[in-house]
Structure 1
Amino acid sequence: MRILGIDPGLQTTGFGVVDVEGQALTYVASGTITTTHLDRGNLPARLKVLFDGICEVRQRYQPDCAAVEIVFVNSNPQSTLLLGQARGACVTALVAGNLAVGEYTPVQMKQAVAGTGRAGKPEVQAMVQRLLRLPGVPGKDAADALGLAIAHAHAGQAMARIAQATTVSRRTSAMYRAGRTL
């Protein structure tokens, strides 16, 4: 199974592609899509760059599914709204290619990769490097995206085992606070 992880951001969106066979994880590719070359006030153009970039990555690497970080609310509502729009452009590019999309919080990704939800960027980068046997430390956005793909690989295996043991209802088994579902 090939998983595409996406760490959305309006200025820099990270992507990471991982192959999973049984318990083995294999690095395929990673990188970033940036909009810093565009005027900060031209939101539609920046969203188009993200959408087109994710579509290109999706077409080039042909993933079976994707994992995207869930936007958290921060102290600046305007920043949260802009990040949400960037995330929406990324998710739309994924589902336009008929990919199933898993969603993970930053804490869930850090727990899956580093064993603690309080891990910092350097710890995530080092663990991604170790887990995927990379020759160097990936950039922070690419490392987060690879971490999301790794988290999805672990969660997907767990969900498959649960599905074999019992009937799983997506609506009741994957709920977030306040009734939000996958």
Structure 2
Amino acid sequence: MHIELGPLRPDPSLLVLGLAQLFLLMFVLGVLLFPRVERMRAQRWDATEGRAERAEAVRAEAEAIRDAALDEITEARHEAARIRQEYTERGSAAIAAARAEGVRDRALLLTTGRARIAADRTEAAGVLRRDVGGLAVALAGRVVGESVHTVAAERRTVERFFAQPAD
């Protein structure tokens, strides 16, 4: 089958030469130009989207570090609250112990003070009765004009007077 192509009929030697040049051009493009183009494309991608990915990775790492720091801070706050609570309880216990000791000391002081006052009152009452009795006998002797000490001592008048219940 032979088709008449007229002026479009290719010359086989030119066709082989054209194909050789095409393969040579493809080889040169594949070995020299396409790798450069690919490197340039990779550099541009790295400069634009690669940086965005690295920035995203850095941001994710920073968030992880921040979250860890926040967890540490939260843990430290809990520990501080626990320590505050512990020392508040210790302080309350110390205050309660000091208060109880103060109440005991107060009770002891009141008891000893009341006992001392009662003893002093009894002693003062005895001294006062003796002095009042002596003064009463001396006054009676002055009123009567002679000494009544022996009569008062025999009759125990002063002791009977003080023994009577007060009205």
TM-score by length of 1: 0.19
User: Which of the pair has more CA radius of gyration?
Assistant: 2
Higher relative contact order (CA 8 A, sep 6+): 1
TM-score by length of 2: 0.20
